[in-house]
Amino acid sequence: MLSVSGLTKTYGDVEAVRGIDFEVADGEVFGLVGPNGAGKTSTLKTLAGLLEPTSGEVVVNGYDAGDPEMRRTLGFLPEESPLYEDMTPRSYLRFFADLYDVDRETADERIAAALDRLDLDARDRPVGDFSKGMKRKVAIARSLVNDPDVLVYDEPASGLDPTTTNVVIEFTRDLAAQGKTIVFSAHDLHHVESVCDRVAIVSDGRIAAKGTLDEIRSAHGRVEYRAFTDVEVPGAERVEAERGDRARYRVRVDSMAAVDDVRERARAAGGDVVDIRTRESTLEDVFLAVTGGAE
Ligand SMILES: Nc1ncnc2c1ncn2[C@@H]1O[C@H](COP(=O)(O)OP(=O)(O)OP(=O)(O)O)[C@@H](O)[C@H]1O
């Protein structure tokens, strides 16, 4: 598991992270989602022990993130992960396993298991010939050579084709089912919706909303009611009549009480409310609302 409390990170005058708190349990996938520059990468790098927090505490599996021992328990996938182009996936991954003192037999088993699951067959061709998606799969396999308990993935699926994206997302779910603690960042809400148990929407270095997607939607979303009338009432917009009916008008309101007001006004004008439809906020609506419409 891991916990982050009161985390801040400042670069000179730039306050990239301004007090972030969250905990992730074993077997849980936690997503950090937010517009570019929100502070996601800075947060993840402090989790991985690559950046020192300006203030606050980051504890990974009982270790302070700055403790070199912590690295043994963690797998980090950076947003950009340049690979050694002349190496093959097998030689590259063995090289990293050696850095963690993993014996050859165990390393080969782990490498084969990860590449099988990620559907990467080309194991003895130079990585330099690979597509972006294939390179990403090798980088993901690299994050697993030390069999870490905690995985920190920065934009694991961004910029990949849909098939590779699905493989990466399903693989992430499998890792959580094995009990791993997973934090990942994304700016694509669909990636987050399909894999995360809980999410934090990060905006301007702070968490603007946090919880399960349902919790976030009910705390920050709203239901919109659309009352359709057959006479014009204040605030209504005219819409196309259906099946040759009389003209119709639509009023958007945020409660049933307001729909009742519309009905009273319609009746006073000699008509009525003829239809009521509701629309719940999507995660995208909530994202736009809590990040102030960024991205
Ligand atoms: N090394 C650095 N020096 C100065 N400013 C930095 C540095 N790294 C990041 N920043 C700034 O800190 C803020 C947060 O950046 P960060 O990369 O953490 O955001 P992000 O949410 O990961 O964005 P992206 O999705 O674009 O990677 C941005 O304003 C960025 O310009």
- Predicted pLDDT of residue 102: 95
- 38: Cβ below 6 Å to ligand 1? yes
Tokens of 187: 């700016």
Domains of the chain, residue spans: 2-219, 222-281
Per-residue confidence (pLDDT) for residue 290, from 0 to 100: 87
Residue stretches of the chain with pLDDT short of 70: 241-245, 294-295
Ligand 1 site-directed mutation target among 9, 11, 192, most atoms within 8 Å of CB: 11
**Token duo for residue 204:** 């301007």
Q: At what angle do helices 283-290 and 213-220 cross, to 10 degrees?
A: 60
Q: CA–CA separation, 80 vs 61, rounded Å?
A: 25
Structure tokens at 251: 């009023």
Q: Using one digit for the tens of pLDDT, what is the confidence trace for 204-253?
A: 999 999 999 889 988 888 888 999 999 999 989 998 766 666 779 999 99
List the structure tokens of 110: 């782990």
3 state DSSP class of 212: coil
Indicate which residue's Cα is closest to atom 11 of ligand 1: 16
CATH superfamily of 2-219: P-loop containing nucleotide triphosphate hydrolases (3.40.50.300)
Indicate if ipTM > 0.90: yes
Enter the pTM of the model: 0.84
The pLDDT assigned to 287 comes to 87
Maximum alpha-carbon separation in the chain:
84
Give me the pLDDT at residue 244, please: 65
Query: What digits encode the pLDDT tens for the residues 128-159?
Result: 989 999 999 999 999 999 999 999 999 998 88
pLDDT of residue 16: 96
> Residue 284, Cβ neighbours under 10 Å: how many?
11
- Report CA-CA distances (Å) from 117 to 79, 133, 275: 21, 14, 51
**Ligand 1 neighbour 205 (Cβ under 6 A):** no
CA of 36 to the centre of ligand 1 (A): 8
196 vs 25: CA distance, rounded Å: 12
Find out whether 200 and 209 touch, Cβ atoms under 8 Å.
Answer: yes
Expressed in angstroms and rounded, the spacing between residue 222 Cα and the centre of ligand 1 is 31
By three-state DSSP, how is residue 71 classified?
helix
Instruction: State the distance from the centre of ligand 1 to the C-alpha of 19, rounded, in angstroms.
Output: 15
The protein residue whose alpha carbon is closest to atom 3 in ligand 1 is 11
Q: How far is CA 41 from CA 63, 157, 190, in A?
A: 21, 15, 19
- Tell me 215's DSSP state: H
Does ligand 1 have an atom closer than 6 angstroms to the CB of 244? no
Dihedral through CA 153, CA 79, CA 283, CA 220, nearest 10? Answer: 80
